[in-house]
Amino acid sequence: MAKKNKLKKELGLFDVFTISTGAMFSSGFFLLPGLASQYTGPSVFVAYLVAGLLIMPALFSIAEISTALPRSGGAYFFLDRSLGPLMGTIGGLGTYFALMFKTAFAIIGIGAYAAIFWEVPVKTIAVMATVFFMVLNLVGAKKSSGLQNFFVSFLLIVLVAFIADGLYNIFFTDRIDIPAVNENFKPFFSEGFEGVIVTAGFVFVSYLGLTQISSVAEEIKDPERNIPLGMLLSLVVTGLVYFLGVFIMVAIIEPEELGNDLAPAATAVTKLFTWLPGNVGAYLMTGAAMAAFASTGNAGMLASSRYPFAMGRDKLFPPRFSKVGKKGTPVQAILLTAGFIMIFIVVLSEEGIAKLASTFQLLIFMLINFSVIVFRSSKIEAYDPGYNSPFYPYMQIAGIIISIVLIAYMGWMAILFTAAIVLMGVLWYQYYARLKVKREGAIFHWFALLGKYQYSELENEFMSIIKEKGLRQGDPFDQTIIRSRITHADDTDFDHIVKYVSGIFSAEMHVKKETLINEFLTISAIEPELVIPEVSVLFAKNEGIDHPSLHIILSEKGINKPVQKKGISSEDDIRIYFFLASPAKEPRQQLRMLSRLIDIIERDDFVNDMLSLKNHRQIKEYLLHNERYISIQLLPGTVQAEMIDKQLKEIKYPSDVLVALVERNSVTFTPNGNTRLLKNDVLTIIGEPKSISQLFDKYMQV
């Protein structure tokens, strides 16, 4: 990916949590509870819990795809790469507008609450807030998420205090101004079980922000851990706050009053926080409400602006929107998004548009659940999620059914609105994007099992994503480099090299030599990603291989080898060959290790550097060369001299490091605990970065 189109990875676990959580708390807590109680009565807080459970299939599916393909654009990118660019266009444009509608109404909420204290025009304040969030997003995702962290932290502190005070007053005091719990809870299910389901569909919009994090997945550090964990934490915290908070509203506010209350949290707090002077409690809850609307507006601006950015990068949108500015943010995409939001704030006034936008989100959730089935069925090995959805495919099927049922409860206007967005997406693709885009989705790989077409470049793109994500914890790359064989060869041919290496591997493994030869010579879908001038990477996998093994062939003169890339056949004089043999049960681990190897090979002047190294230890250290290794020579008169004439088992190293190699008198070998270290030995130590850094500070600092 071109550097000018690449976003910075600045967001950690807490950022994921606050962006996801902040996108949910606004109308869901401060507006909807009273309106929702009209459909089911006092059991409205149960409906919130049910709605949280109903969104879980979408959460698991989005978490899986996001860890496999951490790219900006969220739903757009997932649908484009799974179902093709037409569905990507529909999903991208639709979700983009749905997010902007929701963001616009959240920002209007800021103006509405500001008007409670000051005589100010609501929409003017909303436009000013939009400009503020726009500037914040232009400065950078980290700056934006910093304010988001403040909003959400303040909001949660106030809401936790509200819940604690409410539960205490309801269950542990005898205040006459607070009804006994059983008085406001009869009849509990005023409209029966159907009422709870209808209400769950109505308040389902309260959780839709949960999945917004997928649109900024490209900017998240360690996405395989932080995305699923952040989303799950966000759902648990938000679900508990909704459940307990709405329970308190039902218990404190009279049923007839609650059904018509557009600010039930503010009403409830008038009977709580009596331990605070004057109206401080009301001011705190109003501040929390403004923080909620602000966090939803800020998260919405951040997430929605990534849609034109991602679509521009894929040529479904004008390419200028894919440009990244000096601050590492998509400037034009943010400006466009802010402009649309300000127009919606000024022009639109019907709050029902939020419900219409949510209907389209349900359609997207249905398609994303289907996308997981498509990706897994496509058998694309480079589809390598760090988190796998549980109960596949039943979880995804349940998610599809849930979306269909809830859409039916949204009514005809919402369904017609969704159809209009789908039509807009089809027309945009037909008259703008179709001639600019050549790719197809993973669904064609699924169809390939039936003899249909597939798009080979998709595997290459997924391979490049694996390369960006890097190795996963537990991948034995360093150990494989340490154990690797290195052979210098000249005056031979390619066929002899393949047979020679296959013979050595065959003697070590339960695999026939001929089988390995065929595996090494088979051209795979990712082959174009492995073609680099003067370097060749060949790989094999088989059930008889129990751990990855690497053999490196070095040739000063070069060994002629036929090369094929993007359908063009040629020949190249290869000076460095890598042969990687891996267990068949770990195909994705092999891809990650190949990706790491390619990352090393792409260093400037790699071939000349490798061929200039004097011994096997230096070659292996050059291939390891990262924060996970250190090389120490035992010289008299230095700090490391304390290790001379000691056995390895007598020396106290950090528990997560290993002395992998010892070079002695130009001979390199793998030591064991009984190996006695001698003067001038060179140790290669591998391990966790923190421990390696400690060893560097101890032995290498002057």
β-bridge pairing 568-583 and 535-542: parallel
Q: Which fold does the domain 627-699 belong to in CATH?
A: Alpha-Beta Plaits (3.30.70)
- Asked which of 8-17, 82-91, 136-145, 672-681 is least confident by mean pLDDT, the reply is 136-145
β-bridge pairing 568-583 and 657-664: unpaired
Residue with tokens 């020396």: 651
> In degrees rounded to 5, what are phi and psi of residue 139?
-70, -35
Q: Could you report the per-residue pLDDT of 76-124, keeping only the tens digit for each?
A: 888 888 888 888 888 888 888 878 887 887 787 777 767 766 777 878 8
Query: For 476-488, what is the mean pLDDT?
Result: 92
Which residue pairs, CB below 8 angstroms and at least 24 apart, start in 553-556? 553/487, 553/488, 553/489, 553/497, 553/501, 553/577, 553/579, 554/486, 554/487, 554/488, 554/489, 554/610, 554/611, 555/488, 555/489, 555/490, 556/490, 556/611
- Residue 624 near residue 686 (C-beta atoms within 8 A): yes
- Residue 336 near residue 321 (C-beta atoms within 8 A): yes
* Amino acid identity at 485: R
User: What number of other Cβ atoms are within 10 A of residue 236's Cβ?
Assistant: 11
Residues 6+ apart with CB under 8 A from 495: none
β-bridge pairing 657-664 and 549-565: unpaired
Query: For 43-60, what is the mean pLDDT?
Result: 92
- Asked which of 57-61, 269-273, 698-702 is least confident by mean pLDDT, the reply is 698-702
Residue with the bigger pLDDT between 192 and 583: it is: 583
Q: Could you report the per-residue pLDDT of 248-271, keeping only the tens digit for each?
A: 999 888 888 888 776 788 788 888
pLDDT at 262: 67
Task: Retrieve residue 297's tokens.
Answer: 């507006």
pLDDT at 237: 92
Three-state SS at 173? coil
pLDDT at 607: 93
Residues 6+ apart with CB under 8 A from 685: 629, 630, 631, 632, 653, 657, 658, 659, 660, 692, 695
Q: Could you report the per-residue pLDDT of 455-466, keeping only the tens digit for each?
A: 566 777 777 778
Q: Would the pLDDT of 702 be above 50?
A: no
pLDDT at 116: 65
- Residue 26 near residue 292 (C-beta atoms within 8 A): yes
Residue 556: exposed, middle, or buried by beta-carbon count in 10 A (0-12, 13-18, 19+)? exposed
- Residue 444 near residue 453 (C-beta atoms within 8 A): yes
Q: Could you report the per-residue pLDDT of 585-598, keeping only the tens digit for each?
A: 988 899 899 988 98
- Asked which of 126-140, 185-199, 494-508, 630-644 is least confident by mean pLDDT, the reply is 185-199
pLDDT at 547: 92
The DSSP result for 568-592, as a single string, is EEEEEEEEEEEEEEEETT-HHHHHH
Helix (H) or strand (E) holding 449: none
Q: How far apart, in whole angstroms, are the C-alpha atoms of residue 397 and residue 341?
A: 35
Task: List, in sequence order, every residue forming a beta bridge with 563; answer none if it has no partner.
Answer: 570
Q: How far apart, in whole angstroms, are the C-alpha atoms of residue 74 and residue 319?
A: 18
Task: Retrieve residue 51's tokens.
Answer: 């709605």
* Domain residue ranges of the chain, discontinuous segments joined by +: 3-313+323-350, 473-613, 627-699
- Residue 331 near residue 54 (C-beta atoms within 8 A): no
Q: How far apart, in whole angstroms, are the C-alpha atoms of residue 667 and residue 468?
A: 36
- Asked which of 296-300, 474-478, 658-662, 688-692 is least confident by mean pLDDT, the reply is 296-300
pLDDT at 265: 82
How long, in residues, is the chain?
702
Question: Order of strands, edge to edge, in the sheet holding 629-633?
Answer: 629-633, 682-687, 657-664, 667-669
Highest mean pLDDT out of 181-185, 255-259, 261-265, 635-639:
635-639
Task: Retrieve residue 263's tokens.
Answer: 């600010």
Q: Would the pLDDT of 431 be above 50?
A: yes
Residues 6+ apart with CB under 8 A from 465: 68, 69, 70, 71, 382
Q: Would the pLDDT of 242 be above 70?
A: yes
The DSSP result for 373-430, as a single string, is HHHHHTT-TT---SS--TTTTHHHHHHHHHHHHHHHHH-HHHHHHHHHHHHHHHHHII
Question: Would you say the C-alpha torsion 239, 243, 246, 248 has a positive or negative sign?
Answer: negative
Residue with tokens 């040739």: 555
pLDDT at 419: 86
Three-state SS at 540? strand
Q: Would the pLDDT of 606 be above 80?
A: yes
Residues 6+ apart with CB under 8 A from 482: 620, 624, 660, 661, 670, 684, 686
Q: How far apart, in whole angstroms, are the C-alpha atoms of residue 381 and residue 559?
A: 30
Q: Would the pLDDT of 3 be above 50?
A: no
Query: For 416-432, what is the mean pLDDT?
Result: 87
pLDDT at 303: 81
- Asked which of 75-89, 328-342, 433-447 is least confident by mean pLDDT, the reply is 433-447
pLDDT at 566: 47
The DSSP result for 31-71, as a single string, is THHHHHHHHHGGGHHHHHHHHHHHTHHHHHHHHHHHHHS--
Q: Would the pLDDT of 47 be above 80?
A: yes
Q: What is the mean pLDDT of the chain?
A: 83
Q: Could you report the per-residue pLDDT of 338-395, keeping only the tens digit for each?
A: 999 898 888 765 445 555 666 777 888 888 999 999 999 888 878 889 899 999 999 9
User: What number of other Cβ atoms are within 10 A of residue 494's Cβ?
Assistant: 16
- Asked which of 84-88, 319-323, 622-626 is least confident by mean pLDDT, the reply is 622-626
> In degrees rounded to 5, what are phi and psi of residue 555?
-140, 115
DSSP conformation class of 254: -
Highest mean pLDDT out of 119-133, 369-383, 499-513:
499-513
As a whole-number percent, the residues of the chain with pLDDT over 90 amount to 28
Query: For 130-141, what is the mean pLDDT?
Result: 82
- Residue 73 near residue 309 (C-beta atoms within 8 A): yes
Q: Report how far apart the first and last C-alpha atoms of the chain are (Å, whole number).
A: 40
Task: Write down the CATH superfamily of domain 3-313+323-350.
Answer: Amino acid/polyamine transporter I (1.20.1740.10)
Geometric angle at alpha carbon 99, from 96 and 103, rounded to 5°: 135
Tell me the C-alpha to C-alpha distance, in Å, between residue 128 and each of 108, 117, 120, 257, 339: 10, 17, 12, 34, 12
pLDDT at 56: 93
- Residue 62 near residue 77 (C-beta atoms within 8 A): no
pLDDT at 442: 67
Task: List, in sequence order, every residue forming a beta bridge with 576; answer none if it has no partner.
Answer: 535, 554
Q: How far apart, in whole angstroms, are the C-alpha atoms of residue 621 and residue 500?
A: 25
Residues 6+ apart with CB under 8 A from 168: none
Q: Could you report the per-residue pLDDT of 645-680, keeping only the tens digit for each?
A: 999 999 988 888 889 899 999 888 989 999 999 999
Q: Which fold does the domain 473-613 belong to in CATH?
A: Mannitol-specific EII; Chain A (3.40.930)
Residue with the bigger pLDDT between 424 and 328: it is: 424
- Residue 636 near residue 612 (C-beta atoms within 8 A): no
